[in-house]
């Protein structure tokens, strides 16, 4: 029935069965290579990984491997480091995403105006995205280091610090080190996607609004924002999920310290798996994180649907 409707525009609805089968399977043929890879290299290991959460899997321990039911999750509920890490994750993700988004949006708006040298300015502003993440971690760790980096001396000079100390070893503010590195690295992602969305807004809308006497702020609020909203929803969702899972910078810059003050869930998983080699417990933590992120994404997808329907 649906096939006949699909084929109608081409006037070929009396095709033999085999041809119809071929055209029905066409989209699957195009996506098959990608799908097969995703299923074998990601989905199957994911299922195995989830099964580890219910098993006692410790590397290098030949007696491990037995099923232990929900023991890991019970231990997790009482694990203080985990709850602290969960709080830190919210802090780290919230500030990183908010700052990246605001600064990225401003950059996109700045680059949306034509001016001489825009191409070069755009390429230079987007450059941090190309820097390997661990290298940006090392880079910023160096900048915060009072011996080889300038930032502590600048902060001291501005009176923001009592002595030129390393920000990364201060228990109260250490999280800002990785956050700043992350903001630096992630602004281009938002700027690129938002700039693309900005450039797709029909220019005559702005002209019409200007003729009607709308102020720049009014134009931004009633034309730009509604057009950007679906892009904003989807990019903020993707970035939040990526950043919540993004342990590289923290592992390289502070390794969770001082005193677990910068330990986020993702870096805690990393530490549990590779320092303590406890893959079972690491999988259990990862599952909790995955569940939380899934719920969050569902909410955003629902929000985006409502936004699109209103448009």
Partner 1 sequence: MRSNKRIVATIAHRAAILCYVAFALFPLFWVLKISVTPNDLLYSEGVRLWPSRAVFDHFDFVIRHSDFPLFFRNSMIVSLSTAVIVTILSSLGGYAMSRFSFRGKFWIVGLMLLTQMFPLVMLIAPIFKILSPLGLTNSLSGLVLVYVAFNVPFATFLMQSFFDGIPKDLEEAAMIDGATRFMAFRQIILPLTLPGMAATLGFVFTAAWSELLFALMLISGVDASTFPVGLLSFVSKFSVDFGQMMAAGVLALIPACLFFFFIQRYLVQGLTAGAVKG
Site for partner 1 in 199-238 (CB under 8 A): 199-200, 230-231, 238
Interacting positions 4-23 with partner 1 (CB under 8 A): 9-10
CB of 61 to partner 1, least distance (A): 13
Pick 123 or 158: Cβ nearer partner 1:
123
CB of 248 to partner 1, least distance (A): 7
Contact 76, 282 (CB under 8 A): no
Interacting positions 174-193 with partner 1 (CB under 8 A): 184, 187-188, 192-193
Contact status: 245 vs partner 1 (CB under 8 A): yes
Pick 162 or 172: Cβ nearer partner 1:
162
Residue range at the interface with partner 1 (CB under 8 A); choices 63-71, 77-85, 218-226, 273-281? 273-281
Among 197, 232, 233, 243, the residue binding partner 1 under the rule CB under 8 A is: 197
Residue range at the interface with partner 1 (CB under 8 A); choices 65-73, 90-98, 171-179, 288-296? 288-296
Q: Which long-range contacts (CB under 8 A, 24 or more apart) does 293-296 make?
A: 293/240, 293/241, 293/244, 293/245, 296/237, 296/240, 296/241
Pick 175 or 266: Cβ nearer partner 1:
266
Among 7, 76, 121, 214, the residue binding partner 1 under the rule CB under 8 A is: 121
Which residues, 6+ apart, have CB-to-CB distance to 219 below 8 Å?
A: 206, 209, 210
Among 4, 70, 102, 196, the residue binding partner 1 under the rule CB under 8 A is: 196
Query: With CB under 8 A, what is the number of residues at the site for partner 1?
Result: 95
- What is the rounded distance in angstroms from the CA atom of residue 99 to the CA atom of residue 248? 19
Residue 140's closest CA among 130, 150, 155? 150
Which residues, 6+ apart, have CB-to-CB distance to 134 below 8 Å?
A: 248, 249, 252
Which residues, 6+ apart, have CB-to-CB distance to 204 below 8 Å?
A: none
CA distances from 284 to 73, 290, 298 (A): 6, 10, 21
Among 7, 131, 214, 223, the residue binding partner 1 under the rule CB under 8 A is: 131
Range 20-45 burial, b when 16+ CB lie within 10 A, else e: beeeeeeeeeeeeeeeeeeeeeeeee
Interacting positions 77-106 with partner 1 (CB under 8 A): 106
Among 119, 306, 309, 310, the residue binding partner 1 under the rule CB under 8 A is: 119
Interacting positions 138-157 with partner 1 (CB under 8 A): 138-140, 142-143, 146-150, 153
Which residues, 6+ apart, have CB-to-CB distance to 307 below 8 Å?
A: 229, 230, 233
Pick 27 or 172: Cβ nearer partner 1:
27
Q: How far apart are the first and last CA of the chain?
A: 32
């Amino acid at each position: 029935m649906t096939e006949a409707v699909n084929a109608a525009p081409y006037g070929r609805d009396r095709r033999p069965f085999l041809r119809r089968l071929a055209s029905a399977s066409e989209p699957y043929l195009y996506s098959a290579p990608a799908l097969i890879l995703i299923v074998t290299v990601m989905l199957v290991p994911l299922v195995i990984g989830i099964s580890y959460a219910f098993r006692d899997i410790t590397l290098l321990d030949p007696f491990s491997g037995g099923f232990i039911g929900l023991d890991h999750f019970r231990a997790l509920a009482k694990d203080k480091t985990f709850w602290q890490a969960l709080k830190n994750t919210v802090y780290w993700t919230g500030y990183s995403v908010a700052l990246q988004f605001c600064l990225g949006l401003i950059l996109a708006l700045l680059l949306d105006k034509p001016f001489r040298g825009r191409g070069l300015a755009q390429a230079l502003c987007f450059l941090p995205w190309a820097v390997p993440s661990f290298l940006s971690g090392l880079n910023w760790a160096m900048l915060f280091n009072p011996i080889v980096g300038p930032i502590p001396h600048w902060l001291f000079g501005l009176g923001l610090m009592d002595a030129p100390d390393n920000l990364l070893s201060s228990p109260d503010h250490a999280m800002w080190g990785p956050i700043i590195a992350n903001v630096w690295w992630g602004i281009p992602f938002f700027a690129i996607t938002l700039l693309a969305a900005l450039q797709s807004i029909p220019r005559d809308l702005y002209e019409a609004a200007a003729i009607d006497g709308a102020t720049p702020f009014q134009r931004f609020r009633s034309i730009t924002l509604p057009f950007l909203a679906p892009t904003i929803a989807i990019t903020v969702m993707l970035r939040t999920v990526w950043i919540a899972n993004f342990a590289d910078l923290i592992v390289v810059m502070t390794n969770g310290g001082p005193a677990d003050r910068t330990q986020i869930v993702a870096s805690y998983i990393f530490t549990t798996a590779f320092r303590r080699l406890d893959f079972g417990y690491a999988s259990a933590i990862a599952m909790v994180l995955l569940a939380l992120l899934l719920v969050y994404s569902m909410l955003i997808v629902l929000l985006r649907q409502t936004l699109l329907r209103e448009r």
